[in-house]
Amino acid sequence: MKDATYIIKAIKKLDGQRAITLVEVLITVLIFSGIVGGILAVFLAGSQSWEVNKVKIEIQEDLRLALASIENDLQQASASSIIDVPADDGWYSVITFRVPEAINSDGRINWPGETISYYVDGDGNGRLIREIEDSGTVQSQRIIAENVSTFEVRRQSTDFNVVDINLQTAKDPTVGSPQSTSTVLRVYLRN
């Protein structure tokens, strides 16, 4: 009997209090959903920005590596050692040249039979290749850069010792718009 009176007293205490209404529950769920949605939107935007910037850095690094390698080799060449790019202001997709081996005691430069070529592979992979060939036999082939969409070389008709290199790298990130970067480098031949 004591238990029954205790329960009745507890019910009478709750009699003046209100319960949670359906409207209050729906508003709480709506506010919580808005907060979670906002956090998710910020996370997705940050992830997309991260991916796009990662791709930008990657293609800029490809561009930098390619230009450094070509510039280093070409600066050692001479106007007469460039084989397949005439000084006619036209753009060409391959450049082949010789680099001096040594200088004789009488001051003459020794030019070996070895040639260095730069070109983009024909597989559609956008790899810039540095190839060393001796007497028609490929001695070595190395990938200098990837993601190369344009590689063009020209010599100026007014100055034979100047080589212009037009290089563009491009890549599609997994999210976001395609990224590309390009430059034209002017190299002055030293020998």
The span from the CA of 102 to the CA of 111, in Å, is: 8
Show pLDDT as tens, one digit a residue, over the chain (191 residues). 567 777 777 766 666 667 778 898 999 999 999 999 999 999 999 999 999 999 999 999 989 988 999 999 898 888 888 998 998 999 999 999 988 777 777 777 777 778 999 999 988 788 999 999 988 888 899 999 999 999 999 998 898 889 999 999 998 888 888 888 888 999 988 76
Q: Under a CB-based contact definition with an 8 Å cutoff, are residues 117 and 131 in contact? A: yes
The span from the CA of 140 to the CA of 114, in Å, is: 11
Q: What is the pTM of this model?
A: 0.73
At a CB cut-off of 8 Å and minimum separation 6, what does 67 contact?
165, 167, 183, 185
